[in-house]
Each structure stands twice: as C-alpha cells, then as structure tokens.
Structure 1
Amino acid sequence: MSGTSERTQENMPLFLGNDLCAFQVDSSSTGGIAWWLGSDEEPLLIDCPDVTKKNIDILKKLARNSRPRILLTSREGHGRVAALQAALDWPVLLHEQEAYLLPALEKVETFSEELVTAAGVRLLWTPGPTPGSCVAHVHASWNVLFCGRLLSLVEVDRLAPLQTRKTFHWRRQRESLKKLRQWVPSNPLPSLALGSGSGGDDCMRLFEWDDWKEPFWGDEPMFN
C-alpha cells in the first residue's frame, strides 16, 4: 500500500496526506469513490461525493480561497453533480461523449482524446466502462493515476478490470487498458486510485502499480 491514511469518524473522508483524501459514495446506486486533490494551481475534485451539508462544508474548507474544478471520470461518477455545482459554483470537466447527460450544468468544459489541465494533470479518454470514461494522471507530488471504473479491487491487493451488466463495451475497455499502459510514464510508475468499489477503507487507499494484474481474456461473460 502507498501512503498513510487517517479518518477519525465514520462516513468522513479518508485523508491520505495534506492534499489527498477519498470520499466513499453511498447515495448513488453505483457507489464508488470520489477524490480530492489539493493544488496551488487548481485543486481537483474527481467524481461526485454524496451531496450532504457535511461534505459541502468539508470541500469549502479544503478549497479555502481557491477555485477548484470537478472532473467526472465516467457517467457512473456523476452522482448529484448539478446539486454539487449549485452549492459550490465550481466548473466541471468531463469527456465530450457524456456532457449531454448533464444539460443543467453551467461552466462545463469537455475534451476528446487527451487534455492537460492548468495544474498539469493529464487526462486520457479510456472508453469501455462507459462511452466517456477517462483517467487522470497526477505526476507532481503524488504520482497517482486516478483510474475511475477502469479497474476494480477483485481481491486483497489485486486490481483487474471487471465486466459488469453496466459495462458499455468490454472489448473497448480491454483496448483502453492496453493504451493506458503505453501512455503512462514508466519511471517511476504511478500509484493507482480507484473510482469503483464499495468495500470501504479497503478501496479508499492508493495501490501499487504491480497490484494491477491482467486477467485471462476469455470470451465468456464475466458479470459480477
């Protein structure tokens, strides 16, 4: 496991350092994990946490006087992002193929293949789990790959892609994983942060790159 963690109360975000913490998403039917990444240039909230007064207050405190951006890594991470934006007035960034799902949003930016944000965060379109799935690589300070729903925790310290009944296109997800391995800088390889999972603190941590194990690519469906 990479990093250290601290959480003092149940349902509070899990802090892995001064600038990184994870929120367990409980209200959405898909569950998942949202991440806060602090930065002097542009803090980033990756996917939508539960929109509660407690979480809003925490996010305002984390943001201080900065203007963060909300990055949505797939439609499974949208949650109640319109309500979150209404409360915080933060701009939203997502892949162009899923922007139509959120017509009520204001201050929206989209991208197609790749994008580098003002803070140097690199985004890559990785369709498969959903049409507009993407990952985010943060090299400065942390060197973490936020992989959205592209990978899941399948057993202790073992990450792999999962085909579920909500998977948009399994073959394209496999192709995205191959593309991702070529895209990520190899020296040093990043830690991995999941956007999937309902396993509590087991998923709300950073994993080593070597925890990513490729499955057997058979033709049989692998619904879970």
Structure 2
Amino acid sequence: MPNHPIHLPQSILPGIFSLPGHREGSLAYLIVEKGGQNILIDCPLWTEELQAWLQEQGGVGTLWISHRDAIGPKLGKIQDQFRCAIAIQEQEAYLIPGRSLTPFQDQYFLTPDIRALWTPGYSPGSSCLYVEQQGGILFTGRHLLPIAPGQIGPIRQEKTFHWGRQLASVAKLCSSLAHKPLAYLCPGANRRYLGELGLIADPWPQLKALDLEGLRAVKGEE
C-alpha cells in the first residue's frame, strides 16, 4: 500500500512541524527553538519553497540525522545555507565526508531538554531524539514506526542491519525513558497511518506491551 501524498509543512504541535522527507514516504521535522537554534530532524525534500519557509522560521541551528537513509543529497546545501551543525551517531559519520560534524556515542544533549539516544538496529547508527517538552515527544526515525492506524512497533525490513540489536534497543529505550513523560511519538515514515494529527498520541501503553521476545522470530518485510 503506497503512502498517500502529503502537503507539508504541517503543524503537528506548538512549534513543531512535519516536512516531506527526501525519500518517498519518509518524514522530516522542524523543532522551532528560541533564539533561532531550530532543530531540523533528518533531511527534507529540498525545494526553494521549503528553503524560504525554513528561513522564515528562523533558519536551522542543528540538523540531526536519525539513521543512514535520512542523509539526503542536499545535506551539504542545508549546512551551507544555514551554517548549521550536523549531529549524527558516530558509526554513520563516515557517510558524510568533508563536512563539519558533531558525532556522538551513546547519547548527546542538543539542548538541556532535547537528547539524542543511540538505538542501533535498523542501521548501525540509528538514534532517537527525546524532547522533554509538551508532555514528552519522541522522534524515532526508522527505529519505531506506525504499523497500522494508531499502532506502533519495530518493523523488520529488508534493509534492517541487525534485528536482534533493534529489539534490544527498543528495550533500552523504554528503560531509559521509564521515568520520563511521553505524550507523543513522531516516526520517520509510514505517514499514512498517522491520521489527521500527524503523530501517535499516548504511545507508552503500546511500547510497554510490545512482545520483544515474540518479535525475534519475525521475518523480514519486502
């Protein structure tokens, strides 16, 4: 089932917008921060209109990359245009040669209340971004995705680097956020399952109910 065409930017929460990703069916996001230090999550589909719109929002302070497939062909143009930092988990930094990068290991604080967490599995350097605002927001890239309307979970795909590590990363993520608020989850693909809200609300019950042992036997998807 193909993803439905989407018309973005779309305001999904105060100061947070979803954007079309550079790959068909994928999503990028913009977090508007005070002082012009906006955070762009993954490479969007780059157009002159989007460039102008980003400029109107105050530009981009940091481009954070959640996984290797989110590195778009216009990444260099984004950094040149906005003179932004590029944060990426260290195992995938080699995929962006010749650029000024901020590689991180297990975790990295973009701001005092916005933290990147390494969650390998879909790719070696996959990571999630946790925002301790508005009740808690988790940007998951390809680590956790909608699997049906309003339902989320890990998906074993043909391109998955290591399924066992991905499931272990889900457990680690749930443990690290167990005492943190989590009101929303924003994935990097499968927009067709997000409905009009453009996100997953109240994801904690689903995350805690995941049968990770049972999922270890799941075969890959085409």
Give the structure-2-normalised TM-score: 0.85
Residues 1:170 and 2:166 are matched in the alignment: no
| 2:55 aligns with one of 57, 60, 64 | 60
| Runs of 4+ more than 4 Å apart | none
Residues 1:69 and 2:62 are matched in the alignment: yes
Query: How many pairs were matched up?
Result: 210
Q: What RMSD, in angstroms, separates the aligned Cα atoms of the two structures?
A: 2.2
Aligned 8 A contact 1:112 1:125 in 2: yes
| 1:12 aligns with one of 8, 19, 23 | 8
Aligned 8 A contact 1:145 1:193 in 2: yes
State the partner residue of 1:214: 210
Q: Which secondary structure state, in structure 2, belongs to the residue aligned with residue 188 of structure 1?
A: coil
Among all aligned residue pairs of Structure 1 and Structure 2, give the percentage whose two residues are the same amino acid.
24
1:43 to partner: Cα distance: 1.9
TM-aligned CA distance change 1:102 to 1:183, over 3 Å: same
TM-aligned CA distance change 1:50 to 1:142, over 3 Å: farther
Residues 1:121 and 2:94 are matched in the alignment: no
Amino acid at match of 2:82: L
Aligned 8 A contact 1:23 1:35 in 2: yes
Amino acid at match of 1:53: E
TM-aligned CA distance change 1:119 to 1:68, over 3 Å: farther
Aligned 8 A contact 1:33 1:194 in 2: yes
Does 43-52 or 173-182 show the bigger shift? 43-52
1:23 to partner: Cα distance: 0.6
| CA deviation map 1:137-177 (0-9, x unaligned) | 10033510111111111111110110011101100000000
TM-aligned CA distance change 1:218 to 1:111, over 3 Å: closer
Alignment of 1:64-213 (within 5 A): 68-80=61-73, 81-106=75-100, 108-199=101-192, 202=195, 204-209=198-203, 210-212=205-207
TM-aligned CA distance change 1:36 to 1:220, over 3 Å: closer
| CA deviation map 1:89-137 (0-9, x unaligned) | 211111111111011323x101001112234311110000000000111
Separation in structure 1 between the aligned mates of residue 40 and residue 159 of structure 2, nearest angstrom:
24
| 1:46 aligns with one of 5, 27, 41 | 41
Task: List runs of 5+ in structure 2 lacking aligned partners.
Answer: 1-5
| CA deviation map 1:185-215 (0-9, x unaligned) | 4353342110122528538324321344525
Amino acid at match of 2:46: V
Q: Which secondary structure state, in structure 2, belongs to the residue aligned with residue 115 of structure 1?
A: strand
Give the structure-1-normalised TM-score: 0.85
Separation in structure 2 between the aligned mates of residue 206 and residue 60 of structure 1, nearest angstrom:
28
Aligned 8 A contact 1:39 1:119 in 2: no
Does 213-222 or 136-145 show the bigger shift? 213-222
Separation in structure 2 between the aligned mates of residue 193 and residue 125 of structure 1, nearest angstrom:
16
TM-aligned CA distance change 1:85 to 1:167, over 3 Å: same
